[in-house]
């Protein structure tokens, strides 16, 4: 079983990284939607890899989570508070969003922001501007995820930033690539060709299942990827939440049948971003995920931004180990 944390400010301390390794962490994720590999260099070279050596984990994993075809809000000078019922502009003169969003969204459609935390309805659209009404409000920050619900937005498999980060992957001893929003076999083949051309054939590809295209082509993705990642954040945005448990169970079952490893991620211990103890529901979720066959578990905001990163890793590993022990009982 592998246990992954996500890099963030709470991890930028020697004692925290040492504590994470003592708690059982076996690797760390770098979320490149908000940074670059080069910007993370001091933290990786001066803190992460030395901590791995002190822990006797020379085989620790370093996982790059690429930008991929994910769509995000542009840079904002400051956070914006969106209130339900307000009208806002997306595009020229308003909140910056990718051109593909402006070209795809239509009147009456809905736009999800920040993994569903914010929800907009399109009132009017033109080639460079959308007028939207806020259905579900809250604070809007730069670089938050975007999706046009029920619509496929045409985006490239790898962005220029992805390619730049891949060129540096060997230098930083990257072991795995998390490929977001995988839509089919071709996305994985494009990434693998890029890795091969850079002499990185040994790097493992973890295909993130995050929307309906990936679900529709799940079998071909399972056969092509080295590992599947059930990424419940955006996956949960693409359907009513009450349908998500059955989808997670189905992906788990199909991975087991194909002998393919899979990782479970998103809100495993979400409450521990603010509290030192998780909810009963969270530990039950982890336990059941392991019983369903998960071979790795990943914390995100719990370690990237949370107040209790080491404690979160301890609860993650202890709960998973309990599940592993009990799964062997008659």
State pLDDT tens for residues 303-322. Answer: 999 999 999 999 999 999 99
Report residue 103's pLDDT band, with 50, 70 and 90 as the boundaries: confident
Report residue 115's pLDDT band, with 50, 70 and 90 as the boundaries: confident
Boundary of a domain, candidates 123, 148, 173: 148
The greatest distance separating any two alpha carbons of the chain, rounded to the nearest whole angstrom, comes to: 64
How high is the pLDDT of residue 47?
A: 96
Task: State whether 172 and 28 are in the same domain.
Answer: yes
Task: State whether 47 and 133 are in the same domain.
Answer: no
44 CB neighbour count, 10 Å cutoff: 18
User: Above 80 in pLDDT, residue 292?
Assistant: yes
Among residues of the chain, what percentage have pLDDT more than 90? 77
Tokens of 110: 């809905």
pTM listed for this prediction? 0.82
How high is the pLDDT of residue 330?
A: 44
Q: Which of 21-30, 74-83, 153-162 has the lowest mean pLDDT?
A: 153-162
Phi then psi for residue 208, to 5 deg, are -85, 125
Residue among 117, 105, 84 at smallest CA distance from 237: 117
Task: State whether 287 and 230 are in the same domain.
Answer: yes
Boundary of a domain, candidates 92, 119, 148: 148
How high is the pLDDT of residue 11?
A: 92
User: Above 90 in pLDDT, residue 224?
Assistant: yes
Q: Containing domain of residue 101, as a range?
A: 72-148
User: Above 70 in pLDDT, residue 221?
Assistant: yes
Our CA dihedral for 110, 154, 258, 284, rounded to 10 degrees, sits at -30
Strands 176-179, 138-140: pairing kind: unpaired
How high is the pLDDT of residue 251?
A: 98
Boundary of a domain, candidates 148, 183, 203: 148
């Amino acid at each position: 079983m592998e246990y992954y944390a996500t890099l963030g400010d709470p991890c930028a301390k020697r004692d925290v990284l040492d504590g994470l390794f003592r708690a059982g962490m076996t690797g760390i994720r770098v979320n490149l939607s908000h940074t670059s590999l080069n910007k993370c260099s001091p933290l990786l070279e001066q803190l992460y890899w030395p901590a791995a050596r002190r822990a006797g984990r020379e085989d620790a994993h370093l996982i790059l989570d690429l930008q991929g075809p994910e769509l995000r809000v542009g840079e904002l000078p400051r956070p914006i508070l969106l209130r339900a019922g307000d009208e806002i502009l997306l595009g020229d003169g308003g909140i910056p969003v990718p051109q593909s969003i402006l070209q795809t969204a239509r009147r009456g459609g809905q736009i999800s922001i920040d993994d569903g935390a914010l929800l907009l309805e399109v009132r009017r659209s033109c080639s460079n501007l959308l007028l939207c009404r806020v259905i579900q409000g809250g604070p809007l920050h730069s670089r938050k995820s975007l999706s046009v619900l029920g619509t496929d937005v045409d985006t490239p498999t790898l962005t220029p930033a992805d390619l730049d980060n891949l060129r540096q992957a060997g230098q930083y001893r990257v072991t795995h690539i998390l490929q977001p929003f995988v839509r089919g076999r071709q996305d994985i083949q494009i990434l693998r060709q890029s890795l091969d051309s850079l002499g990185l054939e040994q790097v493992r590809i973890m295909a993130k299942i995050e929307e309906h295209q990936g679900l529709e082509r799940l079998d071909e993705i399972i056969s092509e990827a080295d590992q599947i990642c059930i990424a419940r954040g955006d996956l949960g945005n693409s359907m009513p939440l009450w349908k998500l448990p059955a989808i997670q169970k189905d992906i788990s079952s199909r991975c087991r049948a194909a002998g393919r490893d899979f990782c479970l991620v998103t809100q495993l211990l979400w409450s521990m971003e603010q509290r030192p103890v998780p909810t009963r529901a969270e530990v039950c979720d982890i336990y059941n995920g392991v019983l369903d066959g998960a071979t790795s578990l990943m914390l995100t905001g719990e370690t990237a931004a949370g107040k209790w990163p080491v404690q979160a890793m301890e609860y993650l590993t202890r709960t998973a180990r309990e599940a592993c022990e009990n799964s062997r009982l008659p």
